[in-house]
Amino acid sequence: MKKIINEPMDFVDEMLEGLLLAHGGQLKAAESDPRAIIRADAPVSGKVAILTGGGSGHLPVFLGYVGEGLADGCSVGNVFSSPSAETMYEATLATHGGAGCLYLYGHYSGDTMNFDMAAEMAAMDDIRVETVLVSDDVASAPPDQWQRRRGVGGLFFVYKIAGAAAAEGMDLDNVARVARAASQSVRSMGVALSPCTVPAAGVPTFTIGDAEMEIGMGIHGEAGVHRGPLETADSIATRLVDAVVNDLPFERGDRVAVLVNGLGATPPEELYILYRRVRHLLDEAGLVTYRSYVGEYATSLEMAGASVSLLRLDDELTRLLDAPARSPFFQQS
């Protein structure tokens, strides 16, 4: 894959420089750490600070969800690699508004261990930290071990919910409570059509036949649950929706929000073709689609493919999902 880059080793830092030049009104780097990207108006006094982070290469995840009604800060790792505990700690210090912090991120072991170490460092400064992990990818472990699953596109919903809760003034316990409720109510499943190449590695993360697809493949190329000939959009939709709906399970009458997410190279046109059938299937299953999001919400560089995420909504989650939000990558009014 050809890339518009300079030195591969400078990928992340040059990306951040460009991002801050473009969105200086909304974002800044913490003074103590250029890899800690925070809201321009951080710390927001009296508000629970939401901290996230993870490897680069997934924009808008994670960085793209720092903003009003969303997260307060993000620790930025190398491509597909965890950020460091120290950066997380610096981001915590720079966003903490006196009401405690929620560490909210996708479940990957490296990230978890670093965030845990950062939480220990914050605890020594008497900063209270709660942690909520998002483990929405149904392909990565069976339902009875859902907490072992990795976090993917469903992260977006949990940012949206937790961010709205913090913005409306909930305390840390309640922000953590609604984040956990959202995390437990969201499920995702994806399909990959082509690999991506980590700039510093120079070789694709995996190989796949010219006429093949892989259902359930992870966003770094982790193996999925089914590899076979490329199918139509309608059959792909059926596979993804079935896996997601049967997992929670979602039941007739449930109110849901749906996200059809592009992994990078798949055009929006194809996402709408996929969404079309997803929507038919949800209607047939008796689920009430309350809100739909179609676009690139969590990517893997230039990987081709898509994922479907479903969030079950109660009245509280509905209110929080409806709230306004604003970042350089996501706006809802």
Ligand X SMILES: Nc1ncnc2c1ncn2[C@@H]1O[C@H](COP(=O)(O)OP(=O)(O)O)[C@@H](O)[C@H]1O
Which residues contact residue 120 at a Cβ distance below 8 angstroms, ignoring those fewer than 6 apart?
none
Q: Which of 23, 96, 107, 220 is catalytic?
A: 220
Sign of the torsion formed by the C-alpha atoms of 81, 12, 163 and 289: negative
The residue at minimum Cβ distance from ligand X is 110
Q: Determine contact, residues 304/266, Cβ cutoff 8 Å.
A: yes
Residue nearest to Mg ion (CB): 81
For 7, the enclosing helix (H) or strand (E) is none
What DSSP element (H or E) covers 266? none
| 273 lines the binding site for a second copy (CB under 8 A) | yes
Pick the stretch among 74-82, 261-269, 282-290, 292-300 that binds Mg ion (CB under 5 A): 74-82
For residue 43, cis peptide bond before it (omega within 30 degrees of 0): yes
Q: Toward Mg ion, which CB reaches closer, 75 or 81? A: 81
Using CB under 6 A as the criterion, what x/- string covers residues 84-123 for binding ligand X? -------------------------xx-------------
List the Cα angle 169/167/257 in 5-degree steps. 120
Please say whether the beta carbons of 47 and 165 come within 8 A.
no
Q: Which listed residue (58, 96, 226, 280) is catalytic?
A: 58
Residue 162 or residue 198: which is nearer to ligand X going by CB? 198
Please provide the DSSP assignment of 109-141 as one string: HHHHHHHHHHHHHHHHTT--EEEEEE--BGGGS
| Residue keyed to tokens 């120079």 | 202
Residue with tokens 């690699």: 81
Q: Pick from 84, 185, 188, 266 the residue near other proteins by CB under 8 A.
A: 84
Among 113, 228, 246, 272, binds other proteins (CB under 8 A): 113
Q: Does residue 108 touch other proteins according to CB under 8 A?
A: yes
Among 141, 200, 225, 265, binds a second copy (CB under 8 A): 265
Active site residue 226: no
Q: Which is nearer to Mg ion, 80 or 156 (CB)?
A: 80
From candidates 32, 147, 207, 232, binder to a second copy by CB under 8 A: 232
298 contacts: CB under 8 Å, gap ≥ 6: 58, 60, 61, 152, 153, 155, 156, 219, 261, 263, 307
| Residue closest to 153 by CA, chosen among 46, 322, 303 | 303
* 220 catalytic per annotation: yes
Q: What is the DSSP letter of 298?
A: S
Binding stretches for Mg ion (CB under 5 A)? 81
Catalytic residues: 58, 220
Binding stretches for other proteins (CB under 8 A)? 9, 77-78, 80-87, 108-110, 113-114, 116-117, 140-141, 148, 150, 198, 200-201, 205, 218, 220-223
Binding stretches for ligand X (CB under 6 A)? 82, 109-110
Binding stretches for a second copy (CB under 8 A)? 1-6, 11, 14-19, 21-23, 56-57, 59-60, 64, 191, 193-194, 210-211, 213, 230, 232-234, 236, 260, 264-276, 279, 292, 294-296, 299, 301-302, 304-306, 326, 329, 331-333
